[in-house]
Amino acid sequence: MAEINDIVEAVSQGKLKQIGDIVQAVIDGGADADAILSDGLVGAMDVVAEKWKAGEVFVPEVLRSAKTMQAGMDVLKPHLVGGEHKAKATFAIGTVKGDLHDIGKNLVAMMLESVGYEVINLGIDLDPGVFVEEVKKGVSCLGMSALLTTTVPQMKIIIDSLEEAGLRDQVKIWVGGAPVTQEFADEIGADYYAVDAAHCIDQLNALYGK
């Protein structure tokens, strides 16, 4: 009989083709849907995140595990109360104006979704106003990404725009990308600097719990 530990193993190993059947077997065995989600699917991605931080797995493996987790989630969703699971928080993320890079941003988005956060992936080359509008809509966490030294200053412009709109205190701000440093984050008034997706997850979990 399949058990929750089988789900953890399948997601950790990126068994994309098998995960649906495994999740269904665990459901059929009478396991609680919330436990399957928290201990199985999300728990597995916590394991993957730890392995990534330790250098034991790399981006392709992380992406495959995240896709496997999402495939398992598709099977589980109808069995959750109301067919959905309440997200820990909503995190909007985008690449700043003038910057077309999105691989790192997309990895962060996928990883955050896989461990229980609702993510709004805003895209690339975004005007400051796009970020401001998301905060107006009630987003509690905002992530800004940049990979070019020429576009990094846009992050301060966005934070200044939020200040001018009287919205700065309503949102926690994350910044990240190759040229970004903790010193720069402090200088522009960001709340958090994340080295990578795993680091961002740790910071969010410290705020909202695992």
- Residues 51-109 pLDDT 10s: 988 999 988 999 899 999 989 999 998 888 765 567 889 999 999 999 999 988 998 99
Residue 11, domain CATH = 1.10.1240.10
b (16+ CB within 10 A) / e for 166-183: ebbeebbbbbbbeebeee
pLDDT score of 103: 86
Looking up residue 173, the CATH number of its domain turns out to be: 3.40.50.280
pTM over 0.85: no
For residues 105 and 176, state if they share a domain: yes
The answer to whether residues 128 and 181 belong to one domain is yes
Q: Which residues pair with 174 in a beta bridge?
A: 143, 192
Total of domains in the chain? 2
Q: What pLDDT does 190 receive?
A: 98
Same domain, 30 and 121: no
Q: What is the domain extent for residue 63?
A: 4-83
Of 64, 83, 102, the residue at which a domain comes to its end is 83
In whole angstroms, give the CA distance from residue 35 to residue 37: 5
